Structure 1
């Protein structure tokens, strides 16, 4: 790994997969905003984010396990990792809501699997998302397509951090469920003509000003 490589948090891959601008606001402006959904997620993660280890016959369960990948420049923490006696390593990401197959959360699980492969010198073909919405584990395939998506998103996030520029607002259905809607102002910024007009009106010189006197 190059000493100049920008390190990417695993969580940023999920944020970028959901909305590049959301990821930019969090990474560049520390702009995370809580709502009811994110608070539920925080409460759900309180237990799994406490480092812990549990052993049962044939199985070790690790919680809040730090992971990384040198070549991809990734780092983060796995909610839960199961280590089975047959050598199988399984990442399990906990989410507070319902599971959406192929959604942004899948990216984070696959990225965790890639990091765990490096840490444990193994191969992982399946991870899981535990969805509190239905209290079930949902399998996520760690296949070539999913791995390729992680690589692409890592480079996209790295570009955002390298350029230090926020991605443009999209103003689509994703915005309705985003806790950062007010901070992002997607409908205003997506309409660039209206945005420029409002800026012009806001900062138009006052003809009655005495600045030139």
Structure 2
């Protein structure tokens, strides 16, 4: 593991905790993460409901052994050193003791997307928990019913740390990031709550708020 990761993680006596799911949300859209973390504003749609149902099948805590691989389900993951915590869908423990996180997603896999960040964060937690290097993770896509291998390299590790810092800054500053107002918004379950088209145009937003919150006329004094 890179020394730079250790130095960054241990500064100021230990970082504030960040959930692994928050990393994925922020990687997808900072405003989405802000609405969830600051306003408890998570909203479901058909896609998120499919994901919830899929995770119900893998989030039953338990373990089993097939061949030489032990499979752990719904394993709590944490790293006090990095300030990360969450729950792993599936962790496969190989004969040499190496754990491999397997994150389940209902949609299609996008290489380099937010899911890569989440599984990398899981791998980094497992390295501290098992005292074993975790060079790869796996994302299972329900859309194509395939496993996709993710290389946990230094670049991806740095991305995890940068996003964790961004989440900490978000929760400390208590200010929502601006909307993305791009193609991501079409597939976001929180589109109606976020109002990206309205807020992206500051002029239209200002005009709308001025109409809604006009000051009351001053009363005529005798």
Same fold (TM over 0.5): yes
Secondary structure of 1:61's partner? Answer: strand
Partner of 1:13: 23
Matched, 1:204 2:204: no
In structure 2, how many angstroms separate the alpha carbons of the residues matched to 1:30 and 1:3?
29
Partner of 2:139: 129
In structure 1, the gaps of 5 or more residues are none
Alignment of structure 1 residues 1-213 onto 2, 5 Å: 5-207=15-217
In structure 1, how many angstroms separate the alpha carbons of the residues matched to 2:26 and 2:215?
39
TM-score, normalising length: structure 1 = 0.95
CA displacement, residues 20-52 of structure 1 (integer Å, 9 cap, x when unaligned): 000000011111000000000000000111111
In structure 1, how many angstroms separate the alpha carbons of the residues matched to 2:128 and 2:215?
59
Q: Report the aligned-residue RMSD.
A: 1.7
CA deviation after TM superposition for structure 1 residue 57, in Å:
2.8
In structure 2, the gaps of 5 or more residues are 1-9
CA displacement, residues 92-113 of structure 1 (integer Å, 9 cap, x when unaligned): 0000011111111000000000
Secondary structure of 1:54's partner? Answer: strand
In structure 1, how many angstroms separate the alpha carbons of the residues matched to 2:44 and 2:60?
21
Secondary structure of 2:108's partner? Answer: coil
CA deviation after TM superposition for structure 1 residue 203, in Å:
1.1
In structure 2, how many angstroms separate the alpha carbons of the residues matched to 1:155 and 1:176?
27
In structure 1, how many angstroms separate the alpha carbons of the residues matched to 2:151 and 2:110?
14
CA deviation after TM superposition for structure 1 residue 4, in Å:
7.5
Alignment length, in residue pairs? 212
In structure 1, how many angstroms separate the alpha carbons of the residues matched to 2:14 and 2:113?
31
CA deviation after TM superposition for structure 1 residue 6, in Å:
2.4
